């Protein structure tokens, strides 16, 4: 296992930030750590990366215990903290060289060049970090996390605060990095895990409430199939309820209706009903199943 977390509890003063948390992450996976603000995501990540100690329980990274063998753990782990603290007055190359020095990397100049290529910092490499956009600062953060070639990457909200273009670029970069490394990334955004992660662990109030493949978690959100239909004329709810295979009909607005139906075939019944009753179906849309519903159900 790349990461093994067993019965971790973290207490800050009187508050339990993590409450008996256990999970494991296999090598090569990209795992999303999803939860609302204050759920305990950053706390868990700081424990895994040896930045703070747990109160109870055990964490191993690539087989090394975070308390007994922190030096070895830090060798195996790259960490991009929340808010990506960087030295804004340093030049990109200078900063990466400095981090390379901290890790006592041989042939540092070459490694810095490699990292700049890997994260696509080429055109910005001679600037001061303070002059970079948020998206490029995240690239610097990813480069510093990977400079010592760790097996595991821990990324705390790596895309928060990025604009849609930067977001897409950083997601693509993370997916590419994930082909070679184990990645655990935290986020409070459902779409993020749907876009990047093989597995999703949902945490709420310091407890794990779901741990499954992102695909099957998404499917749990789908109670029944929902179709939204727009007719050209006014119809009543009672009329629409009588259509075979329809469990429920709710009016969205005007002639727009949401149908909760048994299966895909009910679409034909709706079209048939429209024809029989001199109605025209202007639009019919299948609501996409999503993780959002699961997330809301589990965290509220
Ligand atoms: P998340 O990253 O999911 O937003 P955190 O791990 O940062 O959540 O925080 C979990 C809970 O622990 C929050 O209620 C937060 O206020 C509390 N907390 C975090 N760090 C500290 C600290 N150093 N001292 C006291 N409470 C803290
Ligand atoms: Mg956090």
The percentage of the chain sitting over the pLDDT mark of 90, rounded to a whole number, equals: 75
**Alpha carbon of 287 to ligand 2 centroid (Å):** 31
Question: What are 129-174's pLDDT values in tens digits?
Answer: 999 999 999 999 999 999 999 999 999 999 988 888 888 989 999 9
Distance 282 CA to ligand 2 centre (A): 45
Q: For ligand 1, what atom is nearest to the CA of residue 13?
A: 25
Ligand nearest to the CA of 81: 2
Instruction: Report the 3 state secondary structure along the chain.
Output: CCEEEEEEEEEECCEEEEEEEEEEECCCCEEEEECCCCCCHHHHHHHHCCCCCCCEEEEEECCEECCCCHHHHHHHEEEECCCCCCCCCCEHHHHHHHHHHHCCCCCHHHHHHHHHHHCCCHHHCCCEHHHCCHHHHHHHHHHHHHCCCCCEEEEECCCCCCCHHHHHHHHHHHHHHCCCCEEEEEECCHHHHHHHCCEEEEEECCEEEEEEEHHHHHHHCCCCEEEEEEECCCCCHHHHHCCCCEEEEEEEECCEEEEEECCCCHHHHHHHHHHHCCCCEEEEEECCCCHHHHHHHHHC
Q: What are the boundaries of each domain within the chain?
A: 3-218, 225-299
> Higher pLDDT residue, 216 or 61?
61
CATH 3.40.50.300 describes domain 3-218: yes
Which pLDDT band, with edges at 50, 70 and 90, does 31 fall under?
Answer: very high
Q: Which fold has domain 225-299?
A: Alpha-Beta Plaits (3.30.70)
Residue 265, pLDDT above cutoff 60: yes
261 CA → ligand 1 middle, Å? 42
Residue 76 is predicted with a pLDDT of: 96
Which ligand 1 atom is at minimum distance from the Cα of 18? 10
Quick one: pLDDT band at residue 289, thresholds 50, 70, 90? low
Q: How far is the CA of 42 from the centre of ligand 1 (A)?
A: 7
The number of the ligand nearest the C-alpha atom of 202 reads 1
Per-residue model confidence (pLDDT) at position 248: 84
pLDDT score of 165: 86
pLDDT category, 190, cuts 50, 70, 90? confident
Report residues whose beta carbon is within 6 angstroms of any ligand 1 atom.
12, 15, 17, 35, 37-43
């Amino acid at each position: 296992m790349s990461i093994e977390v067993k019965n971790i509890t973290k207490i800050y003063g009187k508050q339990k930030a993590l409450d008996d948390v256990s999970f494991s992450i296999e090598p090569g996976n990209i795992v999303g750590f999803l939860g609302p603000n204050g759920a305990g995501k950053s706390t868990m990540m700081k424990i895994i990366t040896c930045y703070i100690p747990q109160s109870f329980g055990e964490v191993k990274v690539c087989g090394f215990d975070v308390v007994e063998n922190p030096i070895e753990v830090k060798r195996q782990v790259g960490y991009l903290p929340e808010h990506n603290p960087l030295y804004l007055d340093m030049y990109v190359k200078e900063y990466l060289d400095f981090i390379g020095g901290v890790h006592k990397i041989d042939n540092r100049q070459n490694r810095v060049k490699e990292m700049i290529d890997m994260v696509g910092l080429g055109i910005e490499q001679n600037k001061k970090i303070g002059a970079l956009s948020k998206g490029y600062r995240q690239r610097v953060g990813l480069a510093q996390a990977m400079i010592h070639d760790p097996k595991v990457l821990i990324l705390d909200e790596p895309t928060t605060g990025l604009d849609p273009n930067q977001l897409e670029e950083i997601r693509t970069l993370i997916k590419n990095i994930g082909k070679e490394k184990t990645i655990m990334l935290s986020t409070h955004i459902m779409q993020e895990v749907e876009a990047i992660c093989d597995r999703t662990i949902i945490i709420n109030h310091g407890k794990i409430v779901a741990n499954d493949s992102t695909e099957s978690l998404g499917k749990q959100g789908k109670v029944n199939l929902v179709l939204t239909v727009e007719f050209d004329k006014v119809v009543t709810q009672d009329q629409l309820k009588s259509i075979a295979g329809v469990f429920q009909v709710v009016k969205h607005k005007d002639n727009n209706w949401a149908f909760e139906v048994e299966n895909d075939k009910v679409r034909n019944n709706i079209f048939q009903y429209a024809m029989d009753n001199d109605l025209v179906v202007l639009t019919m849309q299948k609501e996409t199943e999503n993780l959002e519903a699961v997330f809301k159900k589990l965290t509220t």
